[in-house]
Amino acid sequence: MWRGLWTLVARAARGPRSPRPCTRQGSGVPVPGSGTTIFALSSGHGRCGIAVIRTSGPASGHALRSLTAPRDLPPARSACLRLLSHPRSGEPLDRALVLWFPGPQSFTGEDCAEFHVHGGPAVVSGVLQALGSVPGLRPAEAGEFTRRAFAHGKLSLTEVEGLADLIHAETEAQRRQALRQLDGELGHLCHGWAGTLTKALAHVEAYIDFGEDDNLEEGVLEQGGSCKGWGHLVSQPPEAPSLPPLCSLPSTANSEVRELQLALGAHLRDARRGQRLRSGAHVVVAGPPNAGKSSLVNLLSRKPVSIVSPEPGTTRDVLETPVDLAGFPALLSDTAGLREGAGPVEQEGVRRARERLEQADLILAVLDASDLASPSSRNFLDTVVAPAGAGSPNGNSQRLLLVLNKSDLLPPGGPDPSPNLRPHLLLSCLTGEGLDGLLEALRKELAEVCGDPSTGPPLLTRARHQHHLQGCLDALGHYTQTKDLALAAEALRLARGHLARITGGGGTEEILDIIFRDFCVGK
């Protein structure tokens, strides 16, 4: 029991479980994550013939052998054709080129393996899942390959200088991806679980820190959550309470953990609960009402996705359509025109539109070229276009293309662009003029979005979710088995750390806030 938990500790200690890294003052801190083996799809997730999946870490050789069994490791640094099959089921996955890079002569300095597989999503997903089932392997965190390369001295000084930016950009991309995924049922579930777990942990921590020294009584962990004070006794004779309920506790950690275990177990077993995921860059069309957003969506998708009318506020919900934009798979979303003061249904549409903007890989901002001075246009330029365009080089800003529609309404001399208008494209959805220019601009932007491997296909994000949910469940198992309360609390901390990788949060203060809200602690 002890040993099992310690392995768990060692495994989870690799990541920033607490928001504040503990390496700040330390010297001789071990290389982060050394010991574990990571895998990720290293090529972009655009349409491609070949996808490259890479592993790094001591178990790379084992992983390579597991997927190519019964064959041995190929010679170092030379490409070999192998049949990949699932290590558990033996089901064939793909015929692929594999490469074996024993450390330290590899990109990261650790043992690395590369799988060059066919680019179809089913193949990629199959190989990723197969790798995830090899013991000791887990999906890579943002920037982790680069970080390992840096830690092993594989990057030069100039490359190191770009490291922070790179990790930041990759993290940002993953954040947007995660945000999209969490926008559904799974997100609600995860947040709910995280809340339950945080509360259970807070109660265990309270019991440890204040159970004896201060005023908490036993029962935080077990027994029915009797939250009776003695309010009802006030009117009765004071000798009535023989054994007074002391600061009684609103809930019980153990029963909450058991419920959580059941819920997580059921979720992990039930394949249908998997998030409905769509591949492709998320392109969101936004703008003030009646700028011609829906016309643009219909033009780009070459089919009547949205109803178009001269009446502002026609589109009220978010309409999604998968399209092929300039050769890249994209999910095109038409949104309600952004304006205040409309009816409740339209306001909800506006809220959803803003939410969708948050999650966009690329925003197509559409304005009426003949109506740039109107309040709604100005407002849109200030609140959406300007922040996205602020263009800080650290990758914090979103990609945005500014499209001025209805160029056919302009006088022949061109528009009277406001002096501070950022670079824009002129387009007429009516005549089709300017469409080629727009497609070319889209091609450039999407090439960059899809070429960034870290955004990862949703499949990889799903693999990560599953990995952390399983980790959470494993840790909860240790909680229920352990009698030593400090070890049990450690298991809960690990479990919560895993959920925090999906939902964020998880600092000590969050725990303390719950403790002091729920309990009257004090001498």
Binding residues vs other proteins (CB under 8 A): 1-3, 6, 9, 17-18, 20, 22, 24-26, 205, 207-215, 229-231, 233-234, 238, 241, 244-248, 483-487, 489-490, 508, 511-512, 515-516, 520-523
CB of 229 to other proteins, least distance (A): 4
Contact (Cβ atoms closer than 8 angstroms) between residue 402 and residue 424: yes
CA distance 226 to 246: 11
CB of 248 to other proteins, least distance (A): 8
* For helices 60-68 and 121-132, angle between their N-to-C axes, nearest 10 degrees: 120
Q: How far is the CB of 374 from other proteins (least distance, A)?
A: 47
Q: Residue 190 carries which side chain, given as an amino acid letter? A: C
Q: How far is the CB of 225 from other proteins (least distance, A)?
A: 15
What is the C-alpha separation between 142 and 34, in angstroms, rounded?
16
Buried b (16+ CB within 10 A) or exposed e, 140-178: bbbbbbbbbbbbbebbeeeeeeeeeebbebbbbbbebbb
**Which of 52/500 has CB closer to other proteins?**
500
CB of residue 15 to other proteins, shortest distance in Å: 12
* Cβ distance to other proteins smaller for residue 215 or 397: 215
Dist. CA 9–CA 494, nearest whole Å: 7
Residue type, 16: P
Minimum distance of other proteins from residue 217's CB (angstroms): 9
Does a cis peptide bond (omega within 30 degrees of 0) precede residue 393? no
How near is the Cβ of 486 to other proteins at its closest, in Å?
Answer: 4
Q: Which helix (H) or strand (E) holds 493?
A: helix 485-503
Of 214 and 317, nearer to other proteins (C-beta) is 214
CB neighbour class for 233 (10 Å; exposed up to 12, middle 13-18, buried from 19)? middle
Query: Toward other proteins, which CB reaches closer, 211 or 471?
Result: 211
Which CB atom, from 209 or from 320, has the smaller least distance to other proteins? 209
CB of 182 to other proteins, least distance (A): 26
Residue closer to other proteins (CB basis): 26 or 341: 26
Shortest reach from residue 278's CB to other proteins, in Å: 38
The residue among 211 and 337 lying less far from other proteins, judged by its C-beta, is: 211
Q: Which residues contact 27 (CB under 8 A, 6 or more apart)?
A: none
Secondary element (H or E) of residue 444: helix 435-451
The least CB distance from residue 213 to other proteins, in Å, is 5
Residue nearer to other proteins on the CB measure, 208 or 326: 208
Q: How far apart are CA 106 and CA 76, in angstroms?
A: 10
Do residues 219 and 249 lie in contact, with contact meaning Cβ atoms separated by under 8 Å? yes
Q: Closer to other proteins at the Cβ: 5 or 336?
A: 5
- 445 within 8 A of 166, measured Cβ to Cβ: no
Question: Of 239 and 340, which has the nearer Cβ to other proteins?
Answer: 239
Measure the CA–CA gap between 204 and 208, rounded to whole angstroms.
6
Checking DSSP bridges between strand 80-85 and strand 50-56, what pairing results, if any?
unpaired
